[in-house]
Amino acid sequence: MAQFDVVMDFWRDTLSAPTKIVAPMVDASELAWRLLSRKYGAQLCYTPMLHSALFVRDLKYRNEALVSCEDDKPLIIQFCGNNPQTMLEAAQLAQDHCVAIDINLGCPQAIAKRGHYGAFLQNEWPLLRDIVSLLSKNLKVPVTCKVRRFETKEKTIEYAKMLESAGCKMLTLHGRTREQKGPLTGLADWSYVKAVREAVKIPVISNGNIQNMQDLERCLNETGAVGVMTAEGNLYNPALFLSQNPPCWEPALEYLNLVQNHPCPNSYIRGHLFKLFHHVLSLPENNNLRIELGAANTLDKFRAITKQIQSMYNKFHCGEELWTIKTTQSQNLVLPPWLCQPYVRDTPENHVKKVEDRVKEAEEKLADGGKRCYEDSDGNVISRKKMKKLRRILRRPEKCESNQERSSEKCSLCENPLGSKCGYKLCKKCCRDKCFLQNLDCEGHRILVKTRREMAKRYADEKKSNKKKLEKEMNNSTAVAE
């Protein structure tokens, strides 16, 4: 019971018992967006997922990631990684800038698979136990975790208990599996959140299916979670926590004003505006605006596009003119398109059926002598050239772990990374110098100094020999002529 009181004190006293939480989002939960979200009712925010190894070794990356201000509290910093010591070093560098360190064990994207972190660590329990335990024992702030569920409730509960026993002080559970992403996202299962909440003594936050305040209240009632986290719902409507649907240009202009004081990359700004304007830009007559936004690269251009959208739809919003355009059912619009509202995905079943229908249609077209169509994994029609490129990528074998480990070794003569196949255990520059001075070859670096010198010598000898033969023949010819 004492342990339960301590961890609940962290949620209640340090975090001020937040129920409205904005998720960590790569390239999306930067300072300007966090401040906008807090203005619209968010009580707790996370930084974007930060790569622990890069955070430790790259000062520029670290300084940009730690940008915050007095209004950006409470703040939790999230890290990903698979090395306990590196994770600890990163967390120690960040602990004075936040109220807790979160470990990302829920990212299901391809980049997490390649880097071997996020949800692709969920089956490596001894490693996760070491990471959570090491951080929990050596940090001044609590350690929290964000995870996805397994296929069964029993394993999900066992997983949560393992993290709790290792030192996790708060757990965010996404009610989807690792495979539920992209067009196959589907609905999050809140019953898993409820089962975990009843099984552990630490605060549990529910993540998934939050598109409006009604969803939030229903989630709290059904799961018993202490709070609710949202990502996509917040991006399409940052006023979700106030149960409002403002015209999209209002939060957009506020966000651009915040960016002016707290700069961020243009790609972040463009991404936010595309989501805020999603339903407006989905209308066929606004295709040119979509193209303009995609090409915009200055704050002035972003603001001009926002003002243009405002001038186009404010007259309808204020009631000066009647909105009579009917939208198609595929756009999932209940509210007028200029209002901030959720993006509703198609169900996985419908997506699969549409892909099958497109494949069938393409096969029929091909049978009738038409041009063959190609599609990517999301069912989008692509060119033959693009399909061949995707197939080449799929055929490439994944790098083995031994190669990845070898690449971290240092050159024996300098601080540069060691060449993975160098026989002299040198970086390419040092290896080239050694081969030049000592007349050597390095097959690993494909440096062939000795071979090329021998070839040059043979060529020179052959040329000299041929020259002598030619001179001899000319002398003989001259003698015969005389």
**Quick one: tokens of 91?**
């967390």
- Whole-angstrom distance, CA of residue 95 vs CA of residue 77: 8
Tell me the sheet residues that pair with 76. 46, 100
Q: How far apart are CA 255 and CA 274, in angstroms?
A: 13
Using DSSP's 3-state secondary structure scheme, residue 79 falls into strand
CB-side neighbour CA atoms (13 Å) of 286: 21
Amino acid, res. 399: K
In the numeric block, the tokens 């996202």 are attached to 185
Pairing relationship of beta strands 75-80 and 441-442 according to DSSP bridges: unpaired
Structural element, H or E, at residue 143: strand 143-148
Asked if 46 contacts 75 with a C-beta cutoff of 8 angstroms, the reply is yes
Give whole-number Cα distances, 95 to 8, 92, 245, 410, 439, in Å: 20, 5, 36, 29, 52
Tell me the CA distances in angstroms from 448 to 413, 427, 428, 436, one per residue in order.
20, 15, 12, 9
Extended beta strands in 262-352, E state:
none
Q: List the Cα angle 367/371/373 in 5-degree steps.
A: 95
CA 191 – CA 445 distance, rounded (Å): 56
Burial of 255 (0-12, 13-18, 19+ CB in 10 A): buried
What's the rounded Cα separation, in Å, for the pair 210 and 315? 31
Question: Helices (DSSP H) in 96-170: which residue ranges?
Answer: 110-115, 125-138, 153-166
**Active-site pick, 107, 248, 411, 435:** 107
CB 337 within 8 A of CB 282: yes
In the beta sheet, which residues pair with residue 206?
Answer: 173, 228
Nearest to 136 by CA among 202, 207, 184: 202
Smallest CA-to-CA distance from 115 within 82, 149, 78 is with 82
Task: Identify whether the C-beta of residue 312 lies closer than 8 Å to the C-beta of residue 318.
Answer: no
Distance CA 293, CA 177 (A): 34
**Is 107 in the active site?**
yes
Task: Output Rg (C-alpha) for the chain, integer angstroms.
Answer: 30
- The catalytic residue positions are 107
